[in-house]
Amino acid sequence: MNGEVLTPILNWLDVFGIAIFALSGAAVAAKERQTFVTMAFFALVTGVGGGTVRDLLIEAPVFWITDPRVPAVCLICATLAWFTPVRLWQGKAFDMADAAGLAAYAVLGSAKATAYGIPPIPAALMGIITGCVGGIIRDVVAGRPSIIMQPELYVTAAALSASLTVAGMVVAQWLTISDGWVWGVAFVAGFVLRAAAIQFQIALPSYGGGKEANG
C-alpha cells in the first residue's frame, strides 16, 4: 500500500504532536531569552523535525511542505510562548504533555511508514524517529544536553508505541478490526510508560552495571 494515512484519529494525533513539540521548542528559546524569530524557528524545527526525516527516508512528500496548517500551528505555539511566562511550559505537567506528544508522533510515524509499504521493523523505527528527532534537533541547536540523554525512559516509550502500532496493524488485518483501536492502544501504552518513567524516575540499567541509564 502506498499513500497517506491521515484518518481523523491520526489527523488529530498529528496536530497534537506538532503543537506539543513546537511549544517545547519555543519554550527552550524563551528560557534563553531569544527573539520571537528565534522562538518561531525553534518551534518549527522541533515540530516538524522528526516527521521530515521520516518522510525523506520513506520517500514520501515532506508533510509540512503542502500542509499550511503545520507552519501555522508552529507560529501560533511560538506566539503563545512569547506572550506567556516561560514557567507555564516547564515542570512535570508539561513533561506529561510532551509524553503524550511523543506517543502520538510515534504512532503516526509508524502508521504512515506502514502505509507506504515499509516492512515492519523499519516502520517501527520510523515511528521512533518521528517521535524523537525533533527534540534532538532542538537540543543540538540550543547547545544543551539531548533529551535522549536524560535518565528516564524516553526512546523506549516511543519504541513501545511504534512497535504496538506496527504489530497491531498486522493483527488488525487478520481479524478485520479497525486500525483506530490499534492506534489508540499504542498511544496509551507509550504515554503511560513515559508518564510512569517521569513520575517514578524509571530507567534502564546502564552499561557497566550502573543502576540507571538513558533510554
Q: 62-105, pLDDT tens digit by residue? A: 999 988 889 999 999 999 999 999 888 878 888 998 999 999 99
Residue 209 confidence class, pLDDT cut points 50, 70, 90: low
For 8, the grid coordinates are 481523523
Q: Which amino acid belongs to residue 58? A: I
Distance CA 112, CA 38 (A): 30
- The pLDDT assigned to 212 comes to 57
Average pLDDT value for the chain: 89
Distance CA 34, CA 54 (A): 29
**Contacts (Cβ under 8 Å, ≥6 apart) of 87:** none
Domain boundaries, the chain: 8-200
- The pLDDT assigned to 3 comes to 43
Nearest to 26 by CA among 71, 72, 80: 80
For 193, the grid coordinates are 510508560
The predicted model gives 108-120 an average pLDDT of: 95
Residue 1 confidence class, pLDDT cut points 50, 70, 90: very low
- The pLDDT assigned to 2 comes to 35
For 214, the grid coordinates are 538513558
pLDDT higher than threshold 50 for residue 134: yes
pLDDT higher than threshold 60 for residue 115: yes
